[in-house]
Structures are given as structure tokens and as C-alpha cells.
């Protein structure tokens, strides 16, 4: 059973930093794209950043220059370093991975359960 588990969320003051981690585990043949999305109360889920296995990173304009996405392929882990956090960054952050399970040939998206990030004074 494939699982994505996020960690690292919490409460931080404006201007502070957090580092999110997401580990994919359980019967994975290969992982292509990985990324982070977020959903604030009353808003739709939006893209934060993506990082293909062998391509260029992509960031939402709202986080560009402040957030950095990276991955460790050996550990099936993707990270999101968040600096200069703003109150508008407050949201539940979800990890996403496009992968092929070891038991099949079809690729699909998997999602984590989310981790809360709250930026407040």
C-alpha cells in the first residue's frame, strides 16, 4: 500500500521559516513528479511547487524566491523549505507524487493527508 506522509508543519511568526518533508513508501516501482500543494480555509487547493525527477523546478508566483523544493530520490522524499513566511501562507500543505506502483503498470497521483502551516503573530 503506497502512502505519502507529510511532516514539519506548525505555528510560526511572520518572517519565520519551516521545512516540510514528505516520504513516499510502500510498493513503489518508480516516482516521476513530486510536488507540494496547499489549501487555505475557504479557498481551492493550489499548486505551490513541483520538482520532476529529471527536470526543472516550478514555483507559484506567490512563493517564488521564498520557498525551495528539493528531493532525495534514494529516500523517496520531497522537501519544501519555506522562508520569509507570510500570514497568507497559512494553509494545509499536501504532498503529491506521480508514481507507478510495484504491483502494476499504471501511473497515478498519490496524495498525503496534509500538514498544517499557520503563520501568525
- Contact, 32 vs 52, CB < 8 A? yes
Rounded CA Rg of the chain:
14
Residue 74 is predicted with a pLDDT of: 92
CA 111 vs CA 1, 25, 62, 65: distances in Å = 13, 12, 22, 25
Grouping H, G, I as helix, E, B as strand and the rest as coil, residue 71 is strand
Q: How far apart are CA 13 and CA 69, in angstroms?
A: 21
> pLDDT per position in the chain (121 positions), as tens?
899 999 999 999 999 999 999 999 999 999 999 999 999 999 999 999 999 988 789 999 999 999 999 999 999 999 999 999 999 999 999 999 999 999 988 999 999 999 999 999 9
Residue 102 is predicted with a pLDDT of: 95
Residue 53 is predicted with a pLDDT of: 87
Amino acid at each position: 500500500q503506497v502512502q505519502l506522509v507529510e511532516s514539519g508543519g506548525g505555528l510560526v511568526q511572520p518572517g519565520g521559516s519551516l521545512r516540510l518533508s514528505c516520504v513516499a513508501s510502500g510498493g513503489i516501482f518508480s516516482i516521476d513528479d513530486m510536488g507540494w500543494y496547499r489549501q487555505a480555509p475557504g479557498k481551492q487547493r493550489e499548486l505551490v511547487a513541483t520538482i520532476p525527477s529529471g527536470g526543472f523546478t516550478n514555483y507559484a508566483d506567490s512563493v517564488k524566491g521564498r520557498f525551495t523544493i528539493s528531493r532525495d530520490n534514494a529516500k523517496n522524499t520531497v522537501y519544501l523549505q519555506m522562508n520569509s513566511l507570510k500570514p497568507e501562507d497559512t494553509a494545509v500543505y499536501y504532498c503529491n507524487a506521480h508514481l507507478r506502483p510495484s504491483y502494476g503498470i499504471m501511473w497515478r497521483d498519490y496524495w498525503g493527508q496534509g500538514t498544517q502551516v499557520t503563520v501568525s503573530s
